[in-house]
Amino acid sequence: MIIEIRSHGGFGGITAATSRRIDTAAQPGDRADALCTAFDPGALARMAATPCPGCPDRMRYAITVTDATGPHSVTLSEGQMPPEMLDMLDDL
C-alpha cells in the first residue's frame, strides 16, 4: 500500500503545506499493519462522510491510498480524524 498525504490550511489562513509518501512495504511489520489499518480506504471514506461543523479553519489532509484495488482519494479535516491518527501523521 502506498499512502500519499498533502496537508494544507490551518487557522486564519496560515499555511503549513507538507507532502509525504509512505510505502507500507518498506515499514517494519507492526508499523505497516497500523498504517494499513488507519489508512484503509473504507475507514477513510467513513471519516470523510462524518459532518465537521467549524472545520474550515482547521488543517486539511488530501490523502491518496493506492492498494491492490487502485487509488482511493479523500480530503479530511483534522476534526474528522481520531487523535491517534493525527499522532500517527505527526510521526510520519
d(Cα 37, Cα 22) in Å, to the nearest integer? 14
Name the nearest CA neighbour of 2 among 47, 65, 59: 65
Are 72 and 20 contacting, i.e. CB atoms less than 8 angstroms apart? no
pLDDT digits (tens, 9 = 90+) for 72-90: 999 999 889 999 998 888 8
pLDDT digits (tens, 9 = 90+) for 20-75: 999 999 999 999 999 999 999 999 999 999 888 777 777 889 999 999 999 999 99
pTM: 0.85
- The reported pLDDT for the residue numbered 58 is 78
What's the angle, vertex CA 52, arms to CA 33 and CA 71, rounded to 5?
40
- The reported pLDDT for the residue numbered 67 is 94
- The reported pLDDT for the residue numbered 16 is 57
- Which cell numbers in the block locate residue 41? 480506504
